[in-house]
Chains A and B, each alone.
Chain A
Amino acid sequence: MSYNCVVLVKQVPDTKRITGRAMNDDGTVNRAALPAVFNPEDLNALELALDIKDCYGGRVTVITMGLPAATTVLREALYRGADEAILVTDRRCAASDTLATSYILSCAVSKLDYDIILCGRQAIDGDTAQVGPQIAEKLGITQVTYLERVIELKGRVMVARRNMGNGWQEVRTALPVLVTVIDEANEPRVAAAKRLMKYKDAATRAELESGGDGELRCKVLTDKGLLIRQWGLDDLGADLSWCGREGSPTKVHRIQSVVLEAKESKVVEAAPAGISAMVHELIDDHTIG
């Protein structure tokens, strides 16, 4: 039996490489100054999907929601072996929190035939790990989080091992299922040279429209089979009141930047007053508290 896998991926700023210059004066992150990367654990999810395809057959479809520039991660997925890629992009998606994001992505996934939905456990920009389970609930399907290994797929049943941090669990469940994959699961394959040559010019309409001759270039790519599918909220039939800012219950009250001063050191007097002042300082800057 073959399985249709849908992999949900995200383009994220490389938070491991944040430097002083990546922070704006108001404490917000200047995303433009950061390299954008394929969220690491989403690569593990893609690898698992490709592995399932290699073993059992089926299709691997990759979806990302983001700005037109996020098409980059879709091309990377195609280089690695995905059969199809879809960009969900719409200005009205802006400011979506995890709940709104999960609603929009669940609308997109619902348009496809799927047996297994795969996501990385969490994205390195927010580290929330929320969108996967939130989508599973919206679709009314089972979730298997922290997936370390698929032990067996037989008919409509999956046996998998979960990493629970302080131990492990082997679970059996019926398909369809949504899994969130951890980085210990596998070693993601690199892009295949042949596929890279084949898909390097693949693009979405949104990317082409930002340049000149958008229509003509779309037609050329369509003829070559290289136009990456793109969906807006209207294509998804999404209820706008559950998308973007309006669909997001959580809002930002304040952002503070964590100022890292290079080993600026203080001598603290070994007496109650000095120690109390130090503790106060650490509470104020959220180091403890």
Chain B
Amino acid sequence: MIDVNTAGEVWIFAEQRAGTLADTPLELLSKGRELADALGVKLGAVLMGQNVSGLCATLGHYGADKVYLVEDAMLAQYQANSYTRAMGELIHEHRPQIVLYGATPVGRDLAPRIASNLKAGLTADCTDLQIGDHEVKKTGSVYKNLLFQIRPAFGGNIIATIINYDRWPQMATVREGVMPMPEPDMKRKAEVVRHNVSLSAEDLPIEILREEMQGRKVNLKASRVIVAGGAGVGSKENFRLIYDLAHSLGAAPGATRAAVDLGFIDRDHQIGQTGTTVRPSLYVAVGISGAIQHHAGMSESKKIIAINNDPDAPIFSAAHYKIVGDLNAVVPMMIKAIKEKV
């Protein structure tokens, strides 16, 4: 059990595979930076693996003040036991106040094991994190500067804000793609703190016989926000607008069949009756007229924003926010507004 340490750092788990960082740790760095600044503490990234020290610089560029580097041949492949062992040692030694993991298959395998080992709290699949105060009504005690761990529950019907104030660290897994990617600052440098862990064969109870991992694939179904473009976007070059808006929102880019047929984007991104059916929290339809086939694939989105220059476009009948205007002007305005707010 680890006691409260309000001077503790904010940490993120820097998941890597075969020496390559995923996007998730970079997204975590952006949120982690914000939290660490709000608390006035350092932001640390925990990097484990074999021959991965080359990634320390990248973690620094994306916002880490420190990189806790654990290099060991026995950490070359991820395993719950060995990684729990190493992370547990680091947390005991440095007592961070917050530890964040990506809610990836690895993060969701690892974080609960660590929480159980440390007898610490863990909130799964957060979509937002904030710093705030909590009052325990019964005793009147006020706990300041806690991590508000915000997540949907009950199939998305409620938003719960979870805290832990008496046992630390405060830990959460964070849904992929909901935190925006930070802009790298090539001049930033992180201090590297090496840690040695002594592992034995017992810490590697699993033998990986075979595996096949595809690179980063579009996962429209798992995306909380989708920005989709239609024929109205006009050209493959102009589809850059869709990617940029998606990027600013941490969203997945999608498209109508018409846009795919015109070669603006890959078929993997197609949404509609003959593509993927999606139910994101937010669907931004850009230059999409709203054919019934497309509607079938996205009508259950919780919120829909439609941007189209034709006020009579059928998409508007499905939209919660209707923006009649030139997408070439509206999309950049949206990106600007998001960057200012988030």
Contact = CB atoms under 8 A, between A and B. Distances in A.
Interface string B134-164: 1000000000001011101111111111111
B318 to A, nearest CB: 7
Contacts of B117: 137
Interface in B165-207: 165-167, 178, 205-207
Nearest to B134: A253
Contacts of B209: 159, 170-172
A57 interface: no
A18 B155 contact: yes
Contacts, number: 243
A164 B213 contact: yes
A260 B330 CA distance: 26
A270 B322 CA distance: 9
B323 A170 contact: no
A289 B342 contact: yes
Interface stretch (B45-53, B118-126, B234-242, B266-274): B118-126
B115 A99 contact: yes
Contacts of B305: 268, 278
A103 to B, nearest CB: 8
Given A171-B206, A250-B122, A265 B320 contact: yes
A29 B154 contact: yes
B319 interface: yes
The B interface is mostly helix, strand or loop, or mixed, namely: mixed
B263 interface: no
A288 B251 CA distance: 10
Given A16-B155, A99-B122, A138-B116, A169 B208 contact: yes
Contacts of B59: none
B122 A130 contact: yes
A146 B105 contact: yes
A133 B162 contact: no
B153 A253 contact: no
Contact of A263 (B154, B249, B320, B323): B320
Interface in A227-262: 242, 248-258, 260
A254 B155 contact: no
B157 A283 contact: no
Greatest chain A CB density within 10 A among B154, B161, B217 is at B154
B325 A250 contact: no
A269 B111 CA distance: 44
Contacts of B109: 133, 143, 145-146
Contacts of B321: 265-266, 268, 278
A252 B160 contact: yes
A37 B306 CA distance: 38
B337 interface: yes
A204 interface: no
B92 interface: no
Interface in B319-342: 319-326, 329-330, 333-334, 336-338, 340-342
B211 interface: yes
Contact of A170 (B158, B178, B210, B225): B210
Q: Size band of the B side of the interface? A: 35 or more
Contact of A29 (B113, B157, B225, B318): B157
Contacts of B333: 270-272, 275
Contacts of B121: 97, 99, 248-250
A93 B178 CA distance: 34
Interface residues of A, number: 80
Nearest to A265: B320
- Max count, chain B CB within 10 A of own CB: residue among A27, A135, A136, A265: A265
A251 B163 CA distance: 5
Residue among B121, B124, B206, B324 having the largest count of chain A Cβ atoms under 10 Å: B206
B113 A137 contact: yes
A166 interface: yes
B128 A286 contact: yes
A97 B149 CA distance: 14
B282 interface: yes
Given A134-B115, A170-B208, A272-B337, A250 B164 contact: yes
A183 to B, nearest CB: 14
8 A-B pairs with the lowest CB-CB distances in the bound complex, closest first: A270-B325, A249-B121, A15-B155, A167-B213, A128-B124, A137-B116, A134-B116, A130-B112
Interface of B: 80-81, 84, 104-105, 108-109, 111-113, 115-117, 119-125, 127-128, 132, 134, 146, 148-150, 152-167, 178, 205-217, 219, 225, 249, 281-282, 302-303, 305, 316, 318-326, 329-330, 333-334, 336-338, 340-342
14 contacts: A126-B153, A130-B122, A133-B113, A137-B113, A169-B208, A172-B209, A250-B122, A268-B323, A275-B334, A278-B305, A279-B337, A283-B341, A287-B282, A287-B303
Given A250-B123, A258-B156, 9 more contacts: A18-B154, A136-B116, A143-B80, A169-B208, A172-B206, A173-B205, A251-B163, A253-B163, A258-B159
